[in-house]
């Protein structure tokens, strides 16, 4: 642990023990409406679905090559947090508490498949449709006549996976599996990009196999995920979930080349490598949904900090919150909920996702690697300025050059870590995370009626601030 780590650990411990009056009141209220078992384990409400999650995913990702199967299943073997599918399943149960006569906003596009009998059914019947097995012939999808059971294609979910009491629709269950596939693919890619050695307490995919196999395994998972997305037969959900993959990539690029602090658009790798000159043959403009960056020489320190924070939060959304927010919105769409509920579910996922990333960035300063399940202090060593560093930079302008050169010189990492401790930046980051937590709780209450599932979501949302891995 770098210098200042001990201070940060003690400080974080004190912060974990401290709860605001709002959080205390919320915890007390939760106990009044939450079954006792759920207070310690929100998974209990969706235990059937979570227990079979990995098994169902294996049916979706099987290939004809045993080594590829080994790579793609590697991270599913470990006991990960599985927060993203858990959120989708709990949200799906909470949405089921909305009466069917208030869920009349089924998103389908019958214009695309006018002769398909599925779309001739009443809207409410469409909610209970299973994901289809496949559209194209299997010999076309796999490129070979069946040689072994893996070429059959995934089995549809058993009809028993939906019952009126639990309320999780077959397509919502498949959505939870898709979300975990996309997330796991991003982990395989991230560990290669970040040169990670460990993940979930054991060798990372790139170490256990090779960089090339880890990248290809992640690509294969994304390919299988997009196939499963298409089989949900909902155009908006297909668009949302496919775009969440693009969001992940764009967020990584924002991290690799931080244009908020690096005003040179002609170089990458911390200024060490020049980009090829533009040919002028194509006009590939940046779309309007991006963070405006100020390159003026006379920009004030406060303006620079404001821009850096805006950039950081947008990057955090794309890298972490986009998949959570879009899958939350997709779960609401598949439930047939009305537009205001769909919008609130999206905002819930967005605010929760940013809160999750803020806490993740705090843990990089406060928790040892053996507890995290991955290397601690990795962000600074990778040249990444997260919220704790930005708060320290606000107080100490001399950190600016270190951030611009991505902590690449000897002593930069230690100096930045010391500044984080000196200016109590971890507690400031925690306060920002609490703001996003509170917004997420408000979104839940605006979107969903009272239920055990909503209480579980509230409990889970609060618990993010006290997680240790």
* Locus of tokens 């599913």: 76
Please check whether residue 364 is in contact with residue 377, taking contact to mean a CB–CB distance below 8 angstroms. yes
* Locus of tokens 């496949």: 134
Model confidence band, residue 50 (pLDDT cutoffs 50, 70, 90)? confident
What was the pLDDT predicted at 256?
A: 87
What was the pLDDT predicted at 29?
A: 47
Model confidence band, residue 100 (pLDDT cutoffs 50, 70, 90)? confident
Model confidence band, residue 357 (pLDDT cutoffs 50, 70, 90)? very high
In whole angstroms, give the CA distance from residue 469 to residue 467: 6
* For residue 10, pLDDT beyond 70: no
In whole angstroms, give the CA distance from residue 172 to residue 53: 12
In whole angstroms, give the CA distance from residue 377 to residue 379: 6
In the predicted model, what is the mean pLDDT of residues 259-277?
Answer: 83
What was the pLDDT predicted at 179?
A: 97
Please check whether residue 128 is in contact with residue 147, taking contact to mean a CB–CB distance below 8 angstroms. no
Which range, of 63-67, 72-76, 152-156, 419-423, averages the lowest pLDDT? 152-156
Alpha-carbon distance values, 59 to 46, 148, 174, 176, 395 (Å): 20, 14, 12, 14, 53
Per-residue model confidence as pLDDT tens digits over 210-220: 999 999 999 99
Per-residue model confidence as pLDDT tens digits over 317-333: 999 999 999 999 999 99
* For residue 248, pLDDT beyond 80: yes
Listed in sequence order, the residues at least 6 apart from 31 whose beta carbon sits closer than 8 Å to its beta carbon are 39
What was the pLDDT predicted at 16?
A: 42
What was the pLDDT predicted at 107?
A: 65
In whole angstroms, give the CA distance from residue 446 to residue 345: 9
Superfamily of domain 5-276+288-466: Farnesyl Diphosphate Synthase (1.10.600.10)
Model confidence band, residue 2 (pLDDT cutoffs 50, 70, 90)? very low
* For residue 365, pLDDT beyond 70: yes
In the predicted model, what is the mean pLDDT of residues 333-352?
Answer: 95
Which range, of 73-77, 276-280, 339-343, averages the lowest pLDDT? 276-280
Model confidence band, residue 367 (pLDDT cutoffs 50, 70, 90)? confident
Please check whether residue 137 is in contact with residue 111, taking contact to mean a CB–CB distance below 8 angstroms. no
What was the pLDDT predicted at 418?
A: 94
Model confidence band, residue 105 (pLDDT cutoffs 50, 70, 90)? confident
Higher pLDDT among residues 151 and 125, named by residue: 125
In the predicted model, what is the mean pLDDT of residues 390-396?
Answer: 96
In the predicted model, what is the mean pLDDT of residues 310-323?
Answer: 95
Which range, of 366-370, 443-447, 458-462, averages the lowest pLDDT? 366-370
In the predicted model, what is the mean pLDDT of residues 159-185?
Answer: 82
Alpha-carbon distance values, 165 to 45, 50, 409 (Å): 11, 17, 60
Helix (H, G, I), strand (E, B) or coil at 99: coil
What was the pLDDT predicted at 38?
A: 52
Higher pLDDT among residues 378 and 329, named by residue: 329
**Mean pLDDT score across all residues of the chain:** 82
Which range, of 109-123, 175-189, 451-465, averages the lowest pLDDT? 109-123
Model confidence band, residue 22 (pLDDT cutoffs 50, 70, 90)? very low
C-alpha closest to that of 399 among 267, 304, 299, 257 = 304
Model confidence band, residue 222 (pLDDT cutoffs 50, 70, 90)? very high
* For residue 278, pLDDT beyond 70: yes
C-alpha closest to that of 188 among 223, 229, 225, 219 = 219
What was the pLDDT predicted at 15?
A: 40
Alpha-carbon distance values, 127 to 120, 131, 319, 465 (Å): 13, 11, 30, 35
Would you give the DSSP letter of residue 133?
A: S
Residue 347 phi/psi, 5-degree rounding, is -65, -35
With 0-12 CB in 10 A as exposed, 13-18 as middle and 19+ as buried, what is 17? exposed
């Amino acid at each position: 642990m770098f210098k200042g780590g001990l201070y940060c650990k003690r400080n974080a411990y004190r912060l974990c023990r401290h709860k605001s009056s709002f959080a205390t009141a919320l915890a007390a209220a939760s106990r009044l409406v939450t079954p006792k078992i759920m207070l310690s384990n929100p998974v209990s409400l969706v235990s059937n679905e979570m227990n079979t999650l990995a098994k169902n995913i294996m049916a979706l990702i099987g290939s004809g090559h045993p080594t590829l199967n080994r790579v793609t299943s590697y991270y599913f073997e470990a006991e990960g947090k599985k927060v993203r599918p858990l959120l989708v399943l709990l949200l799906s149960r909470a949405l089921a508490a909305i009466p069917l006569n208030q869920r009349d906003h089924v998103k389908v596009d019958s214009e695309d498949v006018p002769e398909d009998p599925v779309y001739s059914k009443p809207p409410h019947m469409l909610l209970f449709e299973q994901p289809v097995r496949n559209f194209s012939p299997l010999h076309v999808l796999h490129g070979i006549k069946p040689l072994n059971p893996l070429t059959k294609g995934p089995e549809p979910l058993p009809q028993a996976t939906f019952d009126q009491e639990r309320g999780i629709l077959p397509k919502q269950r498949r959505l939870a599996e898709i979300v975990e596939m996309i997330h796991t693919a991003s982990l395989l890619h991230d560990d290669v990009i970040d040169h990670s050695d460990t993940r979930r307490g054991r060798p990372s995919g790139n170490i256990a196999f090779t960089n090339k196999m880890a990248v290809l395994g992640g690509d294969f998972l994304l390919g299988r995920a997009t196939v499963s997305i298409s089989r949900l037969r909902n155009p908006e959900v297909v668009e949302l979930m496919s775009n969440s993959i693009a969001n992940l990539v764009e967020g990584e690029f924002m991290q690799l080349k931080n244009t908020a602090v690096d005003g040179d658009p002609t170089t990458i790798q911390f200024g060490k490598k020049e980009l090829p000159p533009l040919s002028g043959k194509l006009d590939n403009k940046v779309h309007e949904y991006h963070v405006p960056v100020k390159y003026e020489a006379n920009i004030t320190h406060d303006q620079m900090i404001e821009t850096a924070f805006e950039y950081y939060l947008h990057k955090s959304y794309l890298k972490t919150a986009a998949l959570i927010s879009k899958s939350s919105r997709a779960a609401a769409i598949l439930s047939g909920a009305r537009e205001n509920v769909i919008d609130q579910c999206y905002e819930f996922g967005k605010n929760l996702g940013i809160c999750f990333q803020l806490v993740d960035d705090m843990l990089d300063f406060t928790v040892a690697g053996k507890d995290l399940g991955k290397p601690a202090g990795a962000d600074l060593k990778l040249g990444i300025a997260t919220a704790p560093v930005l708060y320290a930079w606000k107080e100490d302008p001399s950190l600016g050059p270190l951030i611009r050169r991505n902590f690449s010189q000897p002593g930069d990492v230690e100096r930045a870590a010391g500044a984080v401790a000196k200016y109590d930046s971890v507690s400031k980051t925690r306060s920002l995370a609490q703001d996003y937590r509170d917004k997420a709780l408000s979104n839940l209450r605006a979107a969903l009626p009272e239920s055990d599932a909503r209480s579980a979501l509230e409990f889970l949302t609060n618990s993010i601030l006290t997680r240790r891995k």
